[in-house]
């Protein structure tokens, strides 16, 4: 039986209620305003070289909100375990001294929000750094709903006055901010990639992560907008979900072009980009496309390193902080 993939998010939008508890003295500034903080929730990466993309987004958020604490959180438990192991490894730290302490001690979004609440911050905005509203964003949404549902005997004991969640780069279901507008903004942010491919005379190809549990049709929509808005052959394939590698190759062969500029359609250029996309193993996209008769140039650059893409999250955060509800209805 067909199951609508965004049902958890639709439920989330229905359940989100305004918190009307009276402000407590703790966690408030002298003027009565709640102490405010921002959490950036990324999937994360185990690659130190991939951190620049996440840190670039953080820098641009800090510039947009001077004086407001901005904390990083990783949604992937596997990635967090890797960093936990490294912070107990002096030899690794000695060889990687450029890794910020905030990454070495990174926590989950839940733990990060809890730490901020314990420090007296009661007005929190969580901005997802995911590309689209898939599994990770759904889990993040449900976590926020759980936190917003907390009730206490005394109103002053409620842990949060405001909790808001910013939408992914390619948007989310709902009519407050049409996802088609977000796709158009994302396509405009990557105009530089199209210009680069044009100079090379190459087809522009992106490898997206995708998801096996949620519809990845939004990648096809993004591909269509990239092609029509830039009037250039641009294609997107997914590691998981549709369109996969086989569908991608069929479309590439139909263009008649032999040169390809291959880039990750992911916030960071980490394991998938380095191995599944640009690796030398037989099952990497670079090798398989070369075997299929294409001349392939790969570029390991995460989307977060593109300022215009990073600003998509800054703008979505601004929208979230202007909302009276956790998510736009």
CATH code, 7-177+307-321: 3.40.50.1400
pLDDT at 323: 86
pLDDT tens per residue across span 100-109: 999 999 999 9
Does the pLDDT at position 23 exceed 50?
no
Contact 289, 260 (CB under 8 A): yes
- The tokens for 97 are 């001294």
CATH code of the domain occupying 191-303: 3.40.50.1400
Residue 60: which residues within 8 A CB-CB, separation 6 or more?
307, 310, 311, 314
> What is the per-residue pLDDT for 29?
54
Which of 90 and 12 is assigned the larger pLDDT?
90
Tokens read off for 211: 């998801």
At 14, is the pLDDT very low, low, confident or very high (cuts 50, 70, 90)? very low
Pick the catalytic residue from 209, 272, 316, 325: 209
Known catalytic residue: 272? no
pLDDT confidence band for 95 (50 / 70 / 90) = very high
Q: What is the pLDDT of residues 72-86, one digit of tens each?
A: 999 999 999 999 999
Q: What pLDDT is attached to residue 122?
A: 94
- For 181, the enclosing helix (H) or strand (E) is helix 179-189
Per-residue pLDDT band for 3 (boundaries 50, 70, 90) equals very low
Confidence band of 324 (pLDDT split at 50, 70, 90):
confident
Q: Would you say residue 307 has pLDDT above 80?
A: yes
Q: At what angle do helices 109-118 and 135-148 cross, to 10 degrees?
A: 30
Residue 67 reports pLDDT greater than 70: yes
More confident residue, 261 or 214: 261
Could you tell me what percent of the chain has a pLDDT over 70? 89
Q: In what helix (H) or strand (E) does residue 234 lie, and over which residues does it extend?
A: strand 234-240
C-beta neighbour count of 246 within 10 angstroms: 9
- What's the average model confidence in pLDDT over 110-132? 97
pTM score, whole prediction: 0.89
CA proximity to 106, closest of 128, 84, 90:
84
Give per-residue pLDDT as tens, 288-303: 999 999 999 999 999 9
Q: How high is the pLDDT of residue 325? A: 73
Q: Does this chain's domain 7-177+307-321 share its CATH topology with 191-303?
A: yes
Measured in Å, how far apart are the chain's first and last C-alpha atoms?
A: 28
**Domain layout of the chain by residue ranges:** 7-177+307-321, 191-303
Percent of the chain at pLDDT above 90?
Answer: 83
Which residue has better confidence, 194 or 28?
194
């Amino acid at each position: 039986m067909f199951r609508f993939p965004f049902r958890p998010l639709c439920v989330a939008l229905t359940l989100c209620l305004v918190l009307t508890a009276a402000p407590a003295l703790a966690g408030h500034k002298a003027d009565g305003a709640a102490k405010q903080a921002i959490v950036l929730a990324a999937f994360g990466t185990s690659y130190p070289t991939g951190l620049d993309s996440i840190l670039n987004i953080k820098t641009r958020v800090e510039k947009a909100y001077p004086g407001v604490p901005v904390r990083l959180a990783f949604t992937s438990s596997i990635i967090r375990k890797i960093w936990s192991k490294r912070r107990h490894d002096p030899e690794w730290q000695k060889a990687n001294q450029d890794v910020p302490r905030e990454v070495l001690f990174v926590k989950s979004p839940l733990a990060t929000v809890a730490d901020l609440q314990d420090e007296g911050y009661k007005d929190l905005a969580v901005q997802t750094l995911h590309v689209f509203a898939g599994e990770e964003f759904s889990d993040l949404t449900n976590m926020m709903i759980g936190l917003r549902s907390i009730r206490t005997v005394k109103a002053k004991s409620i842990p949060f006055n405001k909790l808001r969640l910013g939408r992914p780069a390619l948007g989310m279901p709902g009519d407050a901010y049409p996802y088609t507008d977000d796709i158009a903004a994302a396509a405009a942010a990557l105009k530089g990639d199209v210009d680069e491919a044009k100079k090379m005379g190459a087809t522009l190809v992106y490898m997206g992560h995708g998801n096996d549990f949620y519809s990845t049709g939004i990648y096809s929509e993004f591909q269509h907008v990239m092609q029509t808005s830039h009037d250039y052959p641009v294609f997107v394939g997914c590691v998981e979900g549709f369109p996969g590698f086989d569908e991608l190759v069929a479309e590439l062969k139909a263009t008649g072009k032999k040169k390809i500029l291959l880039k990750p359609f992911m916030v960071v250029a980490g394991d998938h980009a380095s191995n599944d996309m640009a690796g030398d193993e037989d099952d990497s996209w670079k090798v398989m496309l070369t075997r299929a008769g294409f001349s392939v140039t790969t570029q390991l650059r995460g989307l977060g390193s593109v300022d215009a893409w990073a600003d998509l999250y800054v703008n979505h955060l601004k929208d979230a902080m202007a909302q009276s509800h956790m998510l736009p209805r």
